[in-house]
Amino acid sequence: MRPVGAGGTLSVDIKEKSFRSAEGVRLTALRGLSFQVPQGEFACLLGPSGCGKTTTLRILLGLDQDFSGSFHLPGEHQDRAVAVFQEPTLLPWRTVEQNVRLGIPKSRRDADLDQLFESLGLTEMRNLFPSELSLGLARRAALARAFASEPAMLFLDEPFASLDEQTADRLRLLLLGVWSARPTTALMVTHNLREALMLSDRIIVLTGRPAHVRGVFVVPMPRRHRDRTEMNELIRTFHLEYPDVG
């Protein structure tokens, strides 16, 4: 079912999503999955591997329309939703800056991106090609492309997967810096509890397949206070509610 309506809140009500396996067995990925993300909040979908988190994002992006239910995206136009995936998906024959500007509507294609490139540490890389970038830098470019379009809705599918923890932490902080300067409603898929607690306003905890919402953990602390000590306390608090998660 296509998305219906529009408003300031991301609203999801997926009745069921099923598919057939390669062996012909019908599997139900999602059933009764319902949640909301208020406008301007950063939320994380947290759940076990294979529970249907990426499937949910594909539905919300309009890439999978074979489901029952509905959803509302923020903003007036669905095309103002953008996604950052695990793979940066940069065009290899275009420079970093050309890749970033491709995501901007033609009417704003000559926008000043100096501050965005600076905030992501890409100023010196604007004229490089993707093959000249490390994976971490390529993912920075993918983030720049997403934010340059000034989206009403930002989806992120484990964008820091396969990076070493030190590099991933640097990118998480860069993401927070850019998002704080350009706040937009964001939904990120992760199975990393620490990452979810570091980044989000709320964590939507999913069950195993068929996935539905087990509960919502609202992070009770401003991001500026989430240092190592406080993060350990947040993890402890989370585990009081969900002892078997993360």
SS (H, E, C) 2-66: CCCCCECCEEEEEEEEEEECCCCCEEEEEEEEEEEECCCCEEEEECCCCCCHHHHHHHHCCCCCC
The predicted structure's pLDDT at residue 79? 53
What pTM was estimated for this model as a whole? 0.89
Given a cut of 90, is residue 23 above it in pLDDT? Answer: no
Given a cut of 80, is residue 101 above it in pLDDT? Answer: yes
The domain ranges of the chain are 10-241
Nearest CA to 97 out of 27, 169, 145 is that of 145
CATH superfamily for domain 10-241: P-loop containing nucleotide triphosphate hydrolases (3.40.50.300)
Given a cut of 80, is residue 8 above it in pLDDT? Answer: no
Quick: pLDDT tens for 36-79: 999 999 999 999 888 899 999 999 999 999 999 999 998 755 55
Quick: pLDDT tens for 174-231: 999 899 888 899 999 999 999 999 999 999 999 999 999 999 999 988 898 888 899 9
Quick: pLDDT tens for 141-168: 999 999 988 888 999 999 888 788 888 8
The answer to whether the peptide bond before residue 210 is cis (omega within 30 degrees of 0) is: yes
Nearest CA to 187 out of 243, 6, 179 is that of 179
The helix or strand, by DSSP H or E, that contains position 240, with its residue range, turns out to be helix 228-241
Q: What percent of the chain has pLDDT over 70?
A: 95
